[in-house]
Structure 1
């Protein structure tokens, strides 16, 4: 039994939560748990209320919340917003929803959306939520999923504590993919 186990909480935006499908993301999280012993909880949501409810349940009902190091968001959107059910929500709005509730967490976006924040936007998000870092990609590529780089990133987060060391190691071991997808981390 591992004493210091870290978990990933994954929230995937889907067109309809009532439709029960096993997504590529879920398959890869299962693979990550099997291969790398990194546990995760997966939830899907199709509205901002669903997002809020899922994160709220994690915050208030899950006694292991402190063990979740990464909040992994797989959602469409653009630069500084996400799109759920054809509605766009800015990261500022999301920060305000989770004010002070994400202390020490790394919020990581898959390349379903571009993450392009000014230093002010990133700092606002981090200050309001208390998150340790926010990461994602500068390029949204429908043909190439970021999941393999995401898994490597999660592994590094599990092994290393220093955020700069994590990013350096990620670039060192996966330089071409980091460059191609334009990996970004704001802290």
Structure 2
């Protein structure tokens, strides 16, 4: 089955000038070949790079409406992301993309823990107009990845529209991984 929705992946890297084929890029290629889910991959090393990459997607890509998931693979602590040794809060990220992420699911890989209060989650969703924000309550070391659970989540997002149904099916099919990584979805 070929899906109509795409994934936009933005990975934080130490230096965009140095090309390296990251594990994330390899996994996205696997996602395309094995699950027929198309994705666009970009990397960034600064907040300006993050803003520029998402801006290009918003304003230059005529298929933006087809990108259901914005997949952010970035290190950080608590509710911050870290780019070029600077920390940016999710509140700052929300304000950068005020009103621009309507209907999108913002999904964080397990490189950083996502632990939002209901007020913080609601602020992010209200400001960006995103459909949901998801990630994991536990950050894993770089050698360990959430990619298998990410792929299962992405597949369910392609098949289902109801967020509650997606989370229920994810937990039914991958209970141990959901529990281990503390999968979270705020909507």
TM-score norm. by structure 1 comes to: 0.98
Distance apart, 1:162 and its partner CA? 0.3
Distance apart, 1:78 and its partner CA? 1.5
Task: Indicate the SS of the match to 1:78.
Answer: coil
Distance apart, 1:133 and its partner CA? 0.2
Task: Indicate the SS of the match to 1:104.
Answer: coil
Once residues 159 and 182 of structure 2 are traced to their aligned partners in structure 1, the CA distance between those partners, rounded to angstroms, is: 23
- Unmatched runs of 5 consecutive residues or more in structure 1: none
Q: Look up the match of 1:158.
A: 158
Q: Look up the match of 1:18.
A: 17
Q: Look up the match of 1:177.
A: 177
Once residues 51 and 75 of structure 1 are traced to their aligned partners in structure 2, the CA distance between those partners, rounded to angstroms, is: 11
For each residue in 1:56-79, what CA deviation from the matched residue of structure 2 results, as whole angstroms up to 9, or x when unmatched? 000000000000000000000012
Q: Look up the match of 1:144.
A: 144
Task: Indicate the SS of the match to 1:70.
Answer: strand
Once residues 53 and 114 of structure 1 are traced to their aligned partners in structure 2, the CA distance between those partners, rounded to angstroms, is: 24
Runs of 4+ aligned structure 1 residues displaced above 3 Å come to none
Task: Indicate the SS of the match to 1:178.
Answer: helix
Once residues 157 and 183 of structure 1 are traced to their aligned partners in structure 2, the CA distance between those partners, rounded to angstroms, is: 15
- Unmatched runs of 5 consecutive residues or more in structure 2: none
